[in-house]
Amino acid sequence: MDRRVQALILRRIPYGDTSLVFHVFSREAGRLGLMAKGVRRPKSRLDPVLQSGQLVELQLLVREGRELQLVKDADLLEDFRGLREDYARLISGLTVVEALERTQLPDQPDPVLFDTAVATLALMAGPSPRPQNLVYWFLLFLLTHSGYGLDLEACSVCGRPWDEFRQRDGGGLDPGEGRARCPDCRPGREETGLPPALWRVLHFLLHAAPEEVGRREITPTTRHLLGTLLDVLLKAHMAPQLDLQGLRQAAELECSTNVREKHGSEES
């Protein structure tokens, strides 16, 4: 049976001399394992189409019980070219792709998540001046969409509204419950600390439109705290062994940028 699907290419694995095994996240069927025979020949039309991070339309030859369905044809819908023109954008886009690959189960379609991922990649590749911010926004969306969202509106113990203690140090977050505790209710507990700056940025990311998120300036310190917290949350809820390389690379990029900027200012 033939079937057409829209899909994001997640990962490529060379197979034999000329074939390719790859994973995709499709709008119609969720994550799939596929094989494309002969596409790695020198003049193959399909090899440039089936590149990681690209949005494609695939024609599949589906056979029940087959672990890897066969690709008959493929058309490129969007290559998100802007991601390859800037290292920060590239790392950001690959982190979104990596998150989908590491968290989505086979044959579980999720059109909302698919559309959100495509829209996020388009913003990263396009006009967004701070594409790294969209990584944090997307990962928070992924958690919320999967049923593991954060509740930062009030202390989960005393019920005090967030506005009454957002400027104070000592607040915390229970990673398992995703619920906040104010500084007065946190002492002696093992929750992840939430400094006021991190609390404010999380609140912003949870409520802002992605277009606005891509314009927000976030300090390197808060970026590091965001990455650490998201790593904890993703491992707690989505996959215990999850280790997103993109989050580490983004942190390393931020550190190297700071060193260059500091060195430049000292020289001037």
pLDDT in tens, 16-39: 999 999 999 999 999 999 999 999
Q: Report if residue 40 sits inside a domain.
A: no
φ, ψ of residue 28 in degrees (nearest 5)? -90, -25
Please state, in angstroms and rounded to a whole number, the distance separating the CA atoms of residues 171 and 223: 18
On whether residue 118 sits in a domain, the answer given is: no
For residue 188, what pLDDT is reported?
60
Residues 47-71: tens digit of each pLDDT: 999 999 999 999 999 888 788 999 9
Total structural domains within the chain: 1
Q: How far apart are CA 225 and CA 112, in angstroms?
A: 28
The answer to whether residue 42 scores a pLDDT higher than 90 is no
pLDDT attached to residue 61: 92
Contacts of 47 (CB under 8 A, 6+ apart): 20, 39, 40, 41
pLDDT for the residue 268: 30
Output the pLDDT for position 71: 95
Domain that holds residue 191: 128-268
Convert the pLDDT of each residue in 189-235 to its tens digit.
Answer: 556 788 889 989 999 999 999 999 999 999 888 988 898 898 888 88
70 and 19 Cβ atoms separated by less than 8 Å: no
Write down the residue that tokens 């499709």 correspond to: 26
What is the Cα Rg of the chain in Å? Answer: 21
Per the domain annotation, does 194 fall within a domain?
Answer: yes
Q: Is residue 266 part of a domain?
A: yes
The average pLDDT across 118-135 equals: 93
**What pTM did the predictor assign?**
0.88
CATH number of the domain encompassing residue 186: 1.20.1440
- How much of the chain, in percent, has pLDDT values that exceed 70? 87
pLDDT band at 246 (very low <50, low <70, confident <90, very high): low
- Asked whether residue 268 is assigned to any structural domain, the reply reads yes
For residue 137, tell me if it sits in a domain: yes
Domain annotation covers residue 113: no
Per-residue confidence (pLDDT) for residue 65, from 0 to 100: 79
| Residue 99: pLDDT band with limits 50, 70, 90 | very high
pLDDT, position 6: 98
Predicted confidence at residue 267, as pLDDT, reads: 34
Asked if residue 181 belongs to a domain, the reply is yes
* 3-state SS, residue 61: strand
Tell me the CA distances in angstroms from 75 to 4, 9, 52, 88, one per residue in order. 11, 12, 14, 27
At residue 49, the 3 state secondary structure works out as coil
d(CA 70, CA 246): 30
